[in-house]
Structure 1
Amino acid sequence: MVNTEHPAVDRVREALLAFGIDPEIRWFDDATPSAQAAAEALGIPIGAIANSLIFTLDGEPLLVLTSGAHRVDTAWLGAQLGGTIGRASKEVVKLATGQVIGGVAPVGHPSPVRTLVDLALADYETVWAAAGHAHTVFPTTYDELLRITGGESTAVVP
């Protein structure tokens, strides 16, 4: 049985509670660091996974919550945003979110991170996002992701 105590998960839980959400955080025995692994563990379509990806936009952290069904087109999205998007290092991810790659949640960060929420996630009644650790996820909705992150609704591929 996996240990269900973790400081990053606790911060995510606290952030969700502050938004009036009593989170149903699900712990897995095995890590689910990819959208494919999480979808298989949950028995749902990969598109219903809200992948939390940290990029940099002109040097500043940018969180993109994208449907697990596709990859972010960083060149296209950067042009839409009027800047250059690059991959964030694991150090930047940890500093911006307080979480590690594979478990980055949409909330629970030390300070707000500009967030884009993929329009494709609106196609699903329930979407699942990481809860601060690679062994965790929680259910939410597209509208709720926008609300709790203060995110911008946008396409992330042309």
Structure 2
Amino acid sequence: MQDPNISIRPEGFQRVSAALRDRQHGHAPLWLEVAARTSQEAADALGVSLGQIAKSVVFRRKVDEQAVLVIASGDRRVDEKKLKELTGPLGRADADYVKARTGFSIGGVSPLGFAPTGDAAPPLLFIDRELFRFELIWAAAGHPNGVFRMRPDELVQLTGAPVIDVVQA
């Protein structure tokens, strides 16, 4: 069922809604009454465990400035040393960089529905295997008030991203 207010929602939320619809995902994104800019805020708003939040962590690859996006469990911390083995040296991504390379503001970065970024490559996307501890997970839907649900295997199907071990032990 589509949100009847979709046309008045922010553009990022609309892009994610369209991407989910195009991929025939069975669950339209939800619009929360409160902003969930952190994994804990999202977990509290949804009444789920922190680990069920599929948080988006963006890095800047130093060699070519490409965005690297890791979707990780909200209760885990990305191990930059492990990630660097796959990507090469990484730097921090500030709010302007994240918005320019994904089309989303921090707190609403979705694993799909990226905005066109001119001549920049789309984000290099990875999914951490720790998300598979849960039957159901929730990801940002293009805005801090937007979320959508899926199973971890559906996240892989929706994005085509590889599943890796990239969190701290």
TM-score, reference length from structure 2 = 0.85
CA contact 1:13–1:23 (8 Å) conserved in 2: no
Superposition map of 1:25-36 within 5 A: 25-36=29-40
CA contact 1:50–1:128 (8 Å) conserved in 2: yes
1:45 maps onto 2:49 in alignment: yes
**In the alignment, what sits opposite 1:6?**
10
CA contact 1:106–1:129 (8 Å) conserved in 2: yes
For the residue of structure 1 that corresponds to 2:110, the secondary structure is coil
1:21 maps onto 2:25 in alignment: yes
**In the alignment, what sits opposite 2:158?**
148
1:105 maps onto 2:115 in alignment: no
- Unaligned runs of 5+ residues in structure 1 are none
Q: 1:84 aligns with which of 89, 96, 119?
A: 89
Looking at structure 1, the residues matched to 29 and 153 of structure 2 have their Cα atoms a distance apart, in angstroms, of 19
Shift of 1:62: 0.6
- Cα deviation code 1:21-48 (max 9, x no counterpart): 1433222222101011111111111111
Q: Which runs of 4+ in 1 moved over 3 A?
A: none
CA RMSD in angstroms comes to 1.8
1:54 maps onto 2:88 in alignment: no
Percent of aligned pairs with the same amino acid: 38
- Unaligned runs of 5+ residues in structure 2 are 117-121
CA contact 2:21–2:28 (8 Å) conserved in 1: no
CA contact 1:56–1:86 (8 Å) conserved in 2: yes
CA contact 1:115–1:152 (8 Å) conserved in 2: yes
1:69 maps onto 2:66 in alignment: no
1:123 maps onto 2:133 in alignment: yes
Mean CA deviation greater in 15-24 or 64-73? 15-24
Looking at structure 1, the residues matched to 82 and 161 of structure 2 have their Cα atoms a distance apart, in angstroms, of 19
For the residue of structure 1 that corresponds to 2:138, the secondary structure is strand
The one-letter amino acid paired with 1:148 is: L
The one-letter amino acid paired with 2:154 is: E
Shift of 1:63: 0.8
Looking at structure 2, the residues matched to 97 and 130 of structure 1 have their Cα atoms a distance apart, in angstroms, of 13
For the residue of structure 2 that corresponds to 1:100, the secondary structure is coil
Number of equivalenced pairs? 156
TM-score, reference length from structure 1 = 0.91
